[in-house]
Amino acid sequence: MRADAGYFAGALARAAHDEHVSFAIGAKRIASLWRLLAGIAEGDWRDATEMDGAQVAVAAAPGSASG
């Protein structure tokens, strides 16, 4: 599943994850996102499936139960 920034929602990502659906959701480049990305260790990034040259990492959103 792929969604653009207009569909960036934690509930959608959690539902896809829980159902073992591969997904990519774009996000607006806002300051809080850059701060979140800065906290992801280099070794936590993985090559994205079927997206040449792209990498992904999992991070908890600020204010979430795990973030």
- pLDDT value for 32: 82
> What does the pLDDT look like over 33-59, one tens digit per residue?
888 889 899 999 999 888 899 888 887
Residue 60 sits at φ, ψ, to 5 deg, of -80, 135
| Residue 66: pLDDT over 60 | no
Q: Which DSSP symbol is given to 52?
A: T
Confidence of residue 63 (pLDDT cuts 50, 70, 90): low
What's the rounded Cα separation, in Å, for the pair 42 and 62?
19
Q: How many of the other CB atoms lie within 10 Å of CB of 13?
A: 19
